[in-house]
Amino acid sequence: MQIKTDYFKQNKTQYQASYNAIYKKILKYKRIAVFAHASPDYDALGTQMGLTTWLRDNFPEKEIMALGQNHVVFTPRLYPSLDVVSEEWLKKPFLAIVVDTGNAYRVADQRFHYADFVIKIDHHPAVEQYGDLNLVNTSMCATSELIADFIVNCPRKSNVLSKEAAVFLYTGIAGDSGRFQYSSTTPHTFMTAAMLMDTGIDLSRDVYLKMYGGTLNDLYVMSYILNHFSVTKNGVAYYVLSDEDLNKLNIPVERGKENVNLFAETDGINAWASITEDRPNKKWRVSLRSKEKSINGVAAHFHGGGHPQASGATLFSLDELPKLIEELDMLFAK
């Protein structure tokens, strides 16, 4: 077999026209706001802050804002607080770049609609092309990987990639690839990680301790889940955390899904899910994961969507849970 060495070239032919068009829009606008999805995860904030930092480093004369939702744990440990802007700022012409968000309704700050021009950059299956320009590449394991590819192939002469921007993008890739273990990880992912590391990243200090360092309480939460999960006949493992459980465990609703991958490597478990009560919003947040079969179809039946092996959904009552679990279980019936 011939050894391939330049994995960055593979996206060049197909996506260069989009990269050029995005770069042209960036050059055109003096004011740019970068958005991501609500309930942000590593890839949402990593991409948002990675792109924002790259824009600020390369276009110091422009006003660049990152708008949306902070993370309940990782702001400010890993990501800086997002910007706060006045309505006045948003009334003047600006370019919106929305990252990692498949559907318009999931954008954390809906004021992206005020923008003169909207660019969507995403790696989720394209269910809704809400941008005036849409760059969707589902071969990327993370939107951060796609942004890094854009940066590498951007037709800019003096193109700066700071360590700060690279760390943000690295966290997005590490997060969405499960630290380079999911099937979505490709040679291009590793090339991208190597390129980002080359900016001087210390993986332990700059990335992994901040992403995955935990407390003793985290162990208690894990042990509670391991004592309370259920498994169906056809290998669907799931746990439910009610508002009372969250209070008892001393964690916010956003952290309910944190242990969903406890079941990822267990023989006989085909799919796994966390169901967490979001009492203030009168709903239950569902995180679904699967080893092989696509579960985003089931997620779509329950007000959700996402990737084939990692999706999210919403239940408006726990009465809907048996139906969700049955649909999942049926996927794996022989």
- The closest alpha carbon to 120, from 145, 141, 93, 147, belongs to 147
Instruction: Tell me whether residue 53 or residue 309 sits nearer to ligand AMP (CB atom).
Output: 309
Instruction: Tell me whether residue 235 or residue 312 sits nearer to ligand AMP (CB atom).
Output: 312
Give, in degrees to the nearest 5, the angle at Cα 300 between 297 and 304: 130
Q: How many CB atoms lie within 10 A of CB 140?
A: 25
Instruction: Tell me whether residue 34 or residue 310 sits nearer to ligand AMP (CB atom).
Output: 310
Beta carbon of residue 63, minimum distance to ligand AMP (angstroms, whole number): 28
Beta carbon of residue 243, minimum distance to ligand AMP (angstroms, whole number): 18
What CA–CA distance (Å, rounded) separates 296 from 194? 31
Instruction: Tell me whether residue 26 or residue 148 sits nearer to ligand AMP (CB atom).
Output: 148
Beta carbon of residue 57, minimum distance to ligand AMP (angstroms, whole number): 27
Beta carbon of residue 106, minimum distance to ligand AMP (angstroms, whole number): 6
Q: Is-contact 66 129, C-beta < 8 A?
A: no
Beta carbon of residue 313, minimum distance to ligand AMP (angstroms, whole number): 6
Instruction: Tell me whether residue 68 or residue 304 sits nearer to ligand AMP (CB atom).
Output: 304
Q: Quick one: CA torsion of 203, 208, 211, 215, rounded to 10 degrees?
A: -150
Name the site residues for ligand AMP (rule: CB under 6 A): 37, 41, 102-103, 106, 257, 287, 304-307, 310-312
Instruction: Tell me whether residue 31 or residue 255 sits nearer to ligand AMP (CB atom).
Output: 255
Beta carbon of residue 31, minimum distance to ligand AMP (angstroms, whole number): 27
Beta carbon of residue 16, minimum distance to ligand AMP (angstroms, whole number): 26
Instruction: Tell me whether residue 210 or residue 283 sits nearer to ligand AMP (CB atom).
Output: 283
Helical H segments across 154-242, by residue range:
163-176, 187-197, 209-212, 216-228
- The closest alpha carbon to 282, from 240, 317, 320, 324, belongs to 317
Helical H segments across 68-162, by residue range:
74-77, 87-91, 143-153
Contacts of 73 (CB under 8 A, 6+ apart): 254, 255
Can the peptide bond before residue 280 be classed as cis, meaning omega within 30 degrees of 0?
no
